[in-house]
Amino acid sequence: MINSLRVHIDSGRIPHALVIDGGTEAERMNEALEFCASLLCESKGRKPCGVCPQCKKALNNSHPDILNVVKEKDKKNIGIKILREMVEDSYVLPNDSDKKIYIIPHAEEIEATNQNTLLKILEEPPAHASFILLCPSHSVLIGTVLSRVTIFSLEEVSEVKEQDKEKATSLAIEVANAIAKKDEFELIKVASAFEKNTDILAITLEALKPIVRDAILIKSGLNNCIGANKESARNLANSFNNEKLLSLQNAISDLQHAITLHSNKTLTQARLSSHLFEAVL
């Protein structure tokens, strides 16, 4: 999860309307669903837990209180009719939870003249309603809309060199497989790659998250994986129960948080092997 968004969730200061921009379309949706899971999670501990019924449905994008707002078939943009229907529906109480969340996967498809329809609902939404606007860049939204939302950007991820992203994805798979095999020595060998390129550590941890998240979904009987590395996710699911996978997920978040707090990535690198391996012991 985006570190700044994680801070909001952990502190309980959760915005009712937010924009997630940058990255790829899949990355933006992944972040949105994880945020939804955090809002709906039934756990008394850190959210999202990934294993409660609300989390499972949210992460699988099958929750009845998470509604995707998209343009009508054969239409070029999201029309004012769709937006008004969303606003009207937002006043209807949720079905299975205390929250009702509207995701607009392609907010860039709302013409500037129609964005004004969102102003009042974003400024004074019903207590149970939240809105998530996804777009390549928040620059497509008018200033009055931006003044009513909190912006979280995946821009840093999208600006990473393509070769580093490919390397990080490969390393994340190697880390997942080493953990699945419970081979600490192999994990230490993989972690040695960060000695030559410490910047790639953060990207690798980000690439590891969807693998673990998919393992939790698979372990819960849901095979509709979010990420592309299904084989690694299945290896983890076959090796650990949900409690261990959740512990691993939290360990990854802890390491990401450590990176944001300390400019010295060598310290975090040294902790990587022991911290991830201890999570599943």
Q: Average pLDDT by consecutive 10-residue portion of the chain (281 residues)?
A: 72 87 88 92 86 91 95 90 96 94 95 91 93 92 91 66 79 93 88 77 86 86 67 92 88 74 60 81 77
Question: Which residue, among 210, 219, 211, has the nearest Cα to 239 in the 3D structure?
Answer: 219
Question: Which residue, among 208, 181, 180, has the nearest Cα to 272 in the 3D structure?
Answer: 208
Question: CA angle 201-203-209, nearest 5°?
Answer: 105
Residue 189 CA to residue 167 CA, distance in Å, equals 15
pLDDT number for residue 224? 59
Under 8 Å CB-to-CB from 82, ≥6 apart: which residues? 69, 70, 71, 72
pLDDT number for residue 158? 46
Residue 150 in contact with residue 19, Cβ under 8 Å? Answer: yes
Residue 67 in contact with residue 103, Cβ under 8 Å? Answer: yes
pLDDT number for residue 179? 94
Residue 132 CA to residue 136 CA, distance in Å, equals 13
Q: How many CB atoms lie within 10 A of CB 73?
A: 5
